[in-house]
Amino acid sequence: MNGRVFIIGLGLIGGSLALCIKKEHPESTIFGYDISRDNLKLAKMLGVIDEIASTIEAGAQTADLIIISTPVKETEKIIDLLSTLALKQHVLITDVGSTKSVVTNKSQVLLDKGITFIGGHPMAGSHKSGVSASKVILFENAFYLLTPHESIKEQVVQELLKWLQGTNAKFLIISPEEHDLLAGAISHMPHIVAASLVHQADHISERHELVTRLAAGGFRDITRIASSSPSMWRDILIHNKNVLIQLMNDWKQEMDKVLSLIKHERADELYDYFSRAKKVRDGLPQDQKGAIPAFYDLFVDVPDYPGVISEITGYLAKENISITNIRIMETREEIFGILAISFQTEADRIRAQKCIASYSNYDTTIG
């Protein structure tokens, strides 16, 4: 497709979409705008975009496709701004926000003027953020949800899909309301729970300083999504408040049930509770991405001696295997420690496990 693509907001998602479109449609021209001038210059220098737009107005008025890749509260303001501009007659506008009902309702100001808006949500992320972390494979095999208004024609949806086909994502078309319920259950609620667990541990640490030290292992891993952007999650929760109020009431009922089982020492029912959870969890797909970015971790049992970390990373470097994070979960004198290594993809993790096995006799497990 030959056209002008304008991306507003050049973070990880916006930058990665730019790379995908450039790969699939090399004849297109990618313009970018970001509130950070330094970020804009970096995006141009890295080749993520072709040209810098000095303002939203300047970039939007000549665009065939506009992608709004900003926090959801900002998306509302940008939609209002776009509705006041003289845009191309057949321009397509989409967004990448984590909530859809509010944004879709706001897009009515565009639809009333004959401007097409199709809500979108690529369910992908990374350990890293910012335009420098952009990569063309970010959305590969990830779910990409589209929530077109009921008035949008199928041929227009197909046009947007053509623009986005370089993502190699799995596209699903659902209603904004269904999206917000699904995202609330499998993404928004887990972030609330993770943040709540961290708060609880923090309160206990005021009386028991050992909490912080003991939380460095598994607790840190299961609450890692609590490290997400506070401003982003503030806006998401407010946007999806109706869904989350109901989900949180359901959650309180679930916790009351568990509390009752513990209080009355109902051993068999507690066993069944965890057994059911294990069965459901173990049956979840392992070969595809979901709403929360996957963490491809490999745990290596290593002896505690100087140079062991550089030894392991040296093996991986020989095979050109990139890592996103590395940390020591436990090291004590005269026993094995656990080296936790994170990778960008499942394929990299599998390669790393084979690599370490070929160079050493260290035991590895997949997390």
Query: What is the spatial distance between Cα 124 and Cα 170, in angstroms, rounded to a whole number?
Result: 11
* Superfamily of domain 179-282 in the CATH hierarchy: 6-phosphogluconate dehydrogenase C-terminal like domain (1.10.3660.10)
Q: What is the pLDDT of residue 270?
A: 96
What is the assigned CATH class of domain 296-366? alpha beta
pLDDT at 332 over 80: no
pLDDT at 220 over 90: no
The per-residue pLDDT for range 163-188, each reduced to its tens digit, is 999 999 999 999 999 999 999 999 99
Supply 258's token pair: 């568990």
Q: Which one of 3.40.50.720, 3.40.50.2000, 1.10.1040.10, 3.40.1000.10 gives the CATH number of domain 4-174?
A: 3.40.50.720
Indicate the pTM of the whole model: 0.80
Say which residue, 346 or 42, is predicted with more confidence: 42
The per-residue pLDDT for range 70-129, each reduced to its tens digit, is 999 999 999 999 999 999 989 999 999 999 999 999 999 999 999 999 999 998 876 567
- Which residues in the chain are classed under CATH 1.10.3660.10? 179-282
Say which residue, 215 or 318, is predicted with more confidence: 318
Strands in 92-95's sheet, in edge-to-edge order, are 51-52, 29-33, 4-8, 65-68, 92-95, 116-122, 143-148, 170-173
The beta-strand segments (E) located in the chain are 4-8, 29-33, 51-52, 65-68, 92-95, 116-122, 143-148, 170-173, 296-303, 325-330, 336-343, 364-366
**DSSP for 225-290, written as a single string:** GGGS-HHHHHHHHHHTHHHHHHHHHHHHHHHHHHHHHHHTT-HHHHHHHHHHHHHHHHTS-SSS--
Mean pLDDT over residues 202-228, rounded? Answer: 81
By percentage, how much of the chain surpasses pLDDT 70?
93
The per-residue pLDDT for range 279-310, each reduced to its tens digit, is 998 888 766 666 666 667 888 887 767 788 88
Query: What is the spatial distance between Cα 172 and Cα 144, in angstroms, rounded to a whole number?
Result: 6
Alpha helices in 25-144 (DSSP H): 37-45, 56-60, 72-82, 101-106, 108-111
Phi then psi for residue 3, to 5 deg, are -175, 180
Q: What is the pLDDT of residue 334?
A: 45
By percentage, how much of the chain surpasses pLDDT 90?
63
- Which residues in the chain are classed under CATH 3.40.50.720? 4-174
Q: Considering the chain, what is the average pLDDT of its residues?
A: 89
* Beta strand pairing call for 296-303 and 336-343: antiparallel
Closest CA to 344 of 122, 63, 141: 141
pLDDT at 208 over 80: yes
Q: What is the pLDDT of residue 27?
A: 95
